[in-house]
Amino acid sequence: MAFLKRKKESFNGGGLVLFDVVQPAMQAEKVLKKADYKVRLVAPPPELRKGCDLAVEINLVEQPGIERLLRQNGVDYVEVRPLKVGTSEILEIVRVVDFGDWVMVKAANMKLTFEKESGKIVNTSGGGCPDIPVMHAELLDKRVSEAPRPGDLGYTLCSLMLDRALEESLSLWEGGERP
């Protein structure tokens, strides 16, 4: 099976919704995507962080509608900031590493490794959240296409990041495009 480098869709939104804590960032992404806004959960540059290591990148032109929708849904955010020239880069949350027979997908501090041949999850690791052992037990030895979503199993940043790793793994597995 040939494994190719997958091209990422580029997104340059121009603005960030900043948060004090993780849960509202997760909620904001869900609310905005459900309303068909093109957004992306990102790690903001250190100088823009407001206490949370996550932000939602938005198209700045859509700021008024996004702020209204967040308020209507009770999502607490600190502010919306434009990305200016001279600001550090936004960091990619998801990275893929090819280990020959296995692929490791790293989302922030969480890692999911699956076997290329079978699609079977052989390991999860990382994080420090209390729900990690449950997620590990639920995912281990399951195919990426049959595994439960960590985002449905837990409510922590670790479950969100492991869910992103599973999402990317599933996309790689089903799309036939491998790292």
pLDDT in tens, 61-104: 899 899 999 999 999 999 998 887 566 666 677 889 999 999 99
Q: What residues make up the domain containing 147?
A: 94-175
Tell me the two tokens of residue 83. 């990305």
Residues in the chain with pLDDT values less than 50: 1-8, 178-179
Last residue of a domain, one of 82, 103, 135: 82
Phi-psi region of 100 (alpha: psi -120 to 50; beta: other; left: phi over 0): left
Q: In what order do the strands lie in the sheet with 110-115?
A: 94-98, 102-107, 110-115, 121-126
Residue 98 and residue 75 share a domain? no
pLDDT at 112: 96
Structural domain count, the chain = 2
Last residue of a domain, one of 28, 59, 82: 82
Assigned domain for 126 exists: yes
pLDDT at 87: 60
Residue 102 and residue 170 share a domain? yes
Assigned domain for 133 exists: yes
For helices 22-34 and 63-72, give the axis angle rounded to 10 degrees: 110
- Tell me the pTM: 0.66
Q: Which amino acid is at 17?
A: V
